[in-house]
Amino acid sequence: MGEEYSKRIPTELEIKILQHIADEGEDHHPVLVECALVCKAWTEHVRRHLYYSINMIISRGHAKSRPYANTLTCAASLRTGF
């Protein structure tokens, strides 16, 4: 019985499965969230698909955040992966 639990799928296969789910589109967002709860190793890979972009909405009353938004827009190095 102990041997069954020590066998794991290769990490590369796990990543391919998660990638396949992510490629299915926005409808599979809840599935990705559930995958993130499976284990810590999956959480990191799923986050790359769930949070691939961040949209900031700056209203007129929040002028202090505008320089920060400009920095994120201009700095391509800050938009790279995790």
Q: What is the pLDDT of residues 25-80, one digit of tens each?
A: 778 888 989 999 988 888 888 888 887 776 766 666 566 666 766 676 665 555 55
Rounded CA separation 1/70 (Å): 57
- Model confidence at 18: pLDDT above 50: yes
Tokens of 53: 């972009």
Task: Kindly report the pTM of this predicted structure.
Answer: 0.53
More confident residue, 54 or 4: 54
Query: Would you call 61 helix, strand, or coil by DSSP?
Result: coil
- Model confidence at 82: pLDDT above 50: no
